[in-house]
Chain A
Amino acid sequence: MAETITRREFAAAKVTAAPRRRRSRGLAPGKRIPYARLLGPILLLGAWCLASGTGAMDPRTLPAPWTVVHTGAHLWTARTLPTDILASLRRAGYGFLIGAASGVVLALAAGLSRIGEALIDGTVQVKRAIPSLGLIPLFILWLGIGESFKIVIIAIGVFIPIYINTHSALSGIDSRYVELAEVVRLNRWQFIRQVVIPGSLPGFFVGLRLGVVGSWLSLVVLEQINATSGLGYMMFQAQNYGQTDVIVVGLLIYGVFGFVSDAVVRIIERRVLSWRRALTS
């Protein structure tokens, strides 16, 4: 009898000692939700379907999602959409590449030499105060209304955030690392490759993400000014004919491009800056 009691008591003790699920009371936002960044857009899409399906949304204001899909498919088979997308992608791509490359090169030049800093940094800061889109009239006069002025404007828009962020990360590299590089006798090139570039990569990626989004932003505006192809041109034409569905197709494609390019940069960033995960995880 006594034995059973002790056993039962033991069992009871065990129950209370069992680890309960602890509620997190930390200040951190908590565990990540998988695919969290898709959740918002999907909810929005659902609301749109619902509004169009119940007739709450006038199709002249915003056509139903299925109408948009149908229009998109039609434009695709008529071969105008692929041509427009390709034209837009080419402009954004070239502009982005040129802007990113010059941003990095000039940031290195300004960060590594006092002469470079004197010549470049001030100039860029002045340029920063002038909106890139404000340069459009001047560049049209200089370069004509062709592809080159569009690419140049996009490149400038990408260049600025990449330069600013890379340069600030670069000048923020701990001077103690410079001392270390001297102690282990790195030459200038080794110093750049092993200390300066990896040290400024976090800033570069911040700039890259801003730059990618910026390149799409400039594109929309540029393609609505005297273009004969591209997504912006397509939307501009649609406005003249009151084709809301075509405009929405264009907007959606811009949105998808922006989202995908940002995601790609994020993935690359995670790979390249894997050493930082050791800090944040």
Chain B
Amino acid sequence: MAARADELTRPAVRIEELTRTYGDRAVLDGLSLDIRREEFVALLGRSGSGKSTLLRAIAGLDHTVAGSGQLQKPDRVSVVFQDARLLPWRRILANVVLGATGSDVLERGRAALAEVGLAGRERAWPAELSGGEAQRAALARSLVWEPELLLADEPFGALDALTRTKMHTLLRELCARHRPAVLLVTHDVDEAIVLADRVLVLEDGAIGLDVRIDLPRPRSYRDPQVAEYREQLFAALGVVDDHEGTAQ
């Protein structure tokens, strides 16, 4: 009984004293962080502050980088990159189920495509998709794994504003349904506030600011409370918000 309770309260990700160095420079310097199950965390930080380094460390994609520290993560981890990263020589469905196994893998792939609104495009080639569609397919690919942790590295950075807003809604829906823990790396402060339960600001290789966003959903950029959070985060990022409406 106690073991079961422990299982439930155990965080999805536990990072202790994580250090990653490039040459002489410690990009991550003794960083510690817990991400709870089903928690949506957005990670902000100036360029070069180590956002991607942290994400890649959690994803296990940094074999060649020197470093130390403790890292616990769930078995099922999916990654969504800034580019959709679909293999151009595989049709969409084949891309979505890439690496997945099981007798029902194609069914799962179709279901995931339907969930992101790409039903009927299973046989399309990646080159035939628009940027937004390709990123939807990438989301579908991450869903096929039923991830306990979803790592997203500026997944909407290359999309136009309109498509990005639609993708925000889609991502929220998917998270509400599948309930993974999420770590979203972004440079868009508003995106972070609108989407996340908790926003982190990375500074000098460690967590500089850790804010819980206590707002009902759906959230709007125009909400005055969003503006308060925005100011707080801009201050932490060292940005002076001197013109109204940068968000839009």
Do A and B pair up? The answer is yes
> CA of A253 to CA of B209 in the docked complex: distance in angstroms?
78
Instruction: Write out, one digit per residue, whether chain B residues 173-206 have a CB within 8 A of any chain A CB (1) or not (0).
Output: 0000000000000000000000000000000000
Is A278 in the interface zone, CB < 8 Å from B? yes
B84 to A: closest C-beta gap in Å: 10
B90 interface residue per 8 A CB criterion:
yes
**A210 within 8 Å of B (CB atoms):** no
Distance A182 CA – B78 CA, assembled complex (angstroms): 11
Q: Which A residues are CB-close (under 8 A) to B125?
A: 275, 278
With A183-B59, A184-B100, A194-B98 known as contacts, the answer to whether A176 contacts B87 (CB < 8 A) is no
Which among B59, B60, B79, B89 is the interface contact of A275 at CB below 8 angstroms?
B89
**Interface set, chain A 144-194, CB cutoff 8 A to B:** 176-177, 179-186, 190, 194
Q: How far is the CB of B21 from chain A (nearest CB, A)?
A: 21
Return chain A residues, CB-CB under 8 Å to B98.
180, 184, 186, 194
- Select B85's contact among A177, A190, A198, A278, beta carbons within 8 Å: A177
Interface size on B, residues (CB 8 A): 21
- Min CB distance B10 to A, Å, is 23
Interface size on A, residues (CB 8 A): 21
Known: A186-B99, A190-B99, A279-B127. A198 touches B78 (CB 8 A): no
Partner of A183 from the list B78, B89, B91, B128 (CB cut-off 8 Å) is B78
Partner pick for A179 among B61, B127, B145, CB 8 A cutoff: B61
**Chain A residues positioned under 8 Å from B83 (CB to CB):** 176
Query: A181-B99, A184-B99, A184-B100 in contact; A176/B81 too (CB < 8 A)?
Result: yes
Q: Mark B87-106, 1 if CB is under 8 A from A, else 0.
A: 11111000000111000000
Question: Which of chain B's residues has its CB closest to A199's CB?
Answer: B89
Interface pair A183/B87, CB less than 8 Å apart? no
Q: Known: A176-B85, A179-B61, A180-B85. Is A275-B127 also a contact (CB below 8 A)? A: yes
Q: Is the CB of A194 within 8 A of B90?
A: yes
A185 CA / B88 CA spacing, docked (Å): 19
Q: Which of A226-269 contact B (CB under 8 A)?
A: none
Q: Which residues does chain B contribute within 8 Å of A184, judged by CB atoms?
A: 98-100, 141, 145
A195 contacts chain B at the CB level, 8 A cutoff? yes
B residues within 8 A CB of A177? 85, 87
List residues of chain B with CB within 8 A of the CB of A198: 87, 89-90
Q: Which residues of A contact B91 (CB under 8 A)?
A: 275
Report chain B residues within 8 Å CB of A273: 89
Q: Point out the residues of chain B lying under 8 angstroms from A190, CB to CB.
A: 99
Q: Which of A180-227 contact B (CB under 8 A)?
A: 180-186, 190, 194-195, 198-199, 201
CB distance from B109 to the nearest CB of A (A): 12
Which B56-87 residues have C-beta < 8 A from chain A? 59-61, 78-79, 81, 83, 85, 87
What are 21 A-to-B residue pairs whose CB atoms are below 8 Å?
A179-B61, A180-B81, A180-B98, A181-B99, A183-B79, A184-B98, A184-B99, A184-B100, A185-B99, A186-B98, A194-B98, A195-B87, A198-B87, A198-B89, A198-B90, A201-B89, A275-B89, A275-B90, A275-B127, A278-B127, A279-B88
Q: 6 closest pairs, A vs B, by CB?
A: A184-B99, A198-B89, A278-B127, A278-B125, A183-B79, A275-B89
